[in-house]
Amino acid sequence: MRRFPVSLLILLVLDALLLQLPYGFIPVALSVLLMFPQVSAVFLAILGVYLVVLRVTDVFGLALMSLAVLAFEIREMEKMKAPLSNYLYVLVAVALTFPLYLLVMLIPVPVSLEVTWVATLFIFVLYVFLRLSLFHG
């Protein structure tokens, strides 16, 4: 029996949230790139820049980035028929971005530091780490 692709459900939730933003149809149209491993990092970068330009620099922006990473990673695991433990690792790793976000907000920095840039950088590093450790190790 075929399982319903959870990654598509996550992508639909991501698209529904993106449509609430100004010019949300642009990232929604580009979100199809998440289904292709060769260009998914391009979409993550575009989404990060889009959120910073629109100043969606709160937990909502972080949630959008997290959903994008989650949609792609779960899609890859579905294609590889990964064990359920790998799904748990990805969920925990993505969930750790929220405590990091709060930690960065609480640290007083003399230079103005955009929290979304830090979160986007963390998610991108997390993406690279997950790709190297789960799929090539």
Alpha-carbon span 133 to 117, nearest angstrom: 24
The pLDDT value recorded for residue 116 is 65
Taking the C-alpha atoms of residue 111 and residue 15, their distance in angstroms, rounded to an integer, is 34
Q: Is the pTM of this model over 0.85?
A: no
Cβ atoms of 87 and 7 closer than 8 Å: no
Helix, strand counts (H, E) of the chain: 7, 0
Contact (CB, 8 A) for 28 and 15: yes
Residues 5-14, mean pLDDT to the nearest whole number: 90
Instruction: Write down the pLDDT at residue 111.
Output: 55
Q: Are 135 and 127 in contact (CB under 8 A)?
A: no
Q: What is the pLDDT of residue 137?
A: 52
- pLDDT per position as a tens digit, 23-34: 989 999 999 888
Contacts 24+ apart (CB under 8 A), 110-116: 114/52, 114/57, 115/57, 116/48, 116/51, 116/52, 116/56, 116/57, 116/61, 116/62
DSSP string, 23-72: TTHHHHHHGGGGGSTTTHHHHHHHHHHHHHHTT--SHHHHHHHHHHHHHH
The rounded distance, in Å, linking the Cα atoms of 67 and 15 is: 10
What is the pLDDT at residue 57? 76
The pLDDT tens digits of the residues spanning 50-76 come to 988 898 878 888 889 889 989 988 888
